[in-house]
Amino acid sequence: MMQLPIHRFARAVGENAIKQIGVTHLIKKAIGRNDTGGVRWDQRSVDENLHKIGWVSAKVMNHIDVRGKTGVEIGPGDNLGVCYRMLMGGAARMYGVEKFASIEPEWNRKLFAKMSGESIGLAPHHVQALFEDFHPQEPVHFIYSHDVIEHVDPASVFRHAFDLLEPGGDFFNCVDFTGHGVFHNLDRPLDFLTCPDFLWRVLFSAMETTNRIRWSELLEIARQRGFEIVRAHTLRRVAPDYVESIRPHLLQRYQKFSNEDLSVTHCELHLRKPL
C-alpha cells in the first residue's frame, strides 16, 4: 500500500498538472525567475551559502588534490561558489555544468567577493547543458556532484564521466537516497518506494524528482562503467525498526534489497578511472 496521505497526493497531482501545461513556467517568466532543479540559494543568506559551499568543498578536497587540475561540477544549481572555492584551492580551471538557466551572475560575483575578500583573477566557467552533452576541449582531472546523482540516469552520467576523465582521474559524489517533493519526510524517508509506477508518473511526470535508485545499485553501476571504488561511505541511515515496518509496503522490486541496503539514505562515493 502506498504510504502517502491523501491531501499530499492531491496536492502533488495538482502541482504536476499545472507544470505539465506550462503554467509554472509562465509564472516564473512573469516574475523574472529561471527554472532550477534544486534549492534557490540566491534567496538565502550569504552565511547559509558559505556554510553549504564550505561543506561541499571540504568533502571534495578531503579526497581529491585539485591543485593545477581541471575540474567539473555537475549540477551546481544557481551557485558556482564551490567551483570558485576549488579555484581558490589551486585548481587550474573549473566548469559548472547546469542544465537549467539558473545561474545568477551578479549574485555569484557578490558571493565570490565575500568568500575571498579580493579577486583571485579566476572565475568558473558556466556551461548550460546536460552533463552528457558537455565536451570540453582540455583534459578533465576530476568531476564531482552534490545531491545530483539521485535526479539523473546514473548509468549515462557515470559513462560520460568515465569518458571525460583522464586515466587516474577522480569522480566524487554525495548522493541523497530519500524521498523528494511530497514524499520528503526525514522521519519516513523510504515511503516513496511504496508508490506504484503508474501513480509515480501521475505525480511527477513534469517534475524534477528522485530516480529511486538504491545504494547497492549505484555501486554496481560504478563497477560496470569501469571505475575503481576508492571509498564508499554511508553518511546517514534510518532506524532498523522503520525499515522493517515499511518493508511489507514496498514495491516488489525493492523487496530483494537487504535491510542494510535499504537503510542507506545519504552517502559519499569516491570513484577513480584506472591508469
| Grid cell of 22 as nine digits | 506550462
173 to 140, 147, 238: CA distances (angstroms): 16, 8, 20
pLDDT of amino acid 23: 57
Of all residues in the chain, what percent carry a pLDDT higher than 90?
Answer: 69
Comparing CA positions, the residue from 195, 188, 230 lying closest to residue 209 is 195
Domain ranges of the chain: 34-177+213-272
Which residue's C-alpha cell is 507544470? Answer: 19
- C-alpha 274/C-alpha 176 separation (Å) is 26
Weakest-pLDDT range from 107-121, 177-191, 234-248 = 107-121
The pTM for the full model equals: 0.92
Question: What CATH class has 34-177+213-272?
Answer: alpha beta
| 124-180 pLDDT, tens digit each | 999 999 999 999 989 999 999 999 999 999 999 999 999 999 999 999 999 999 999
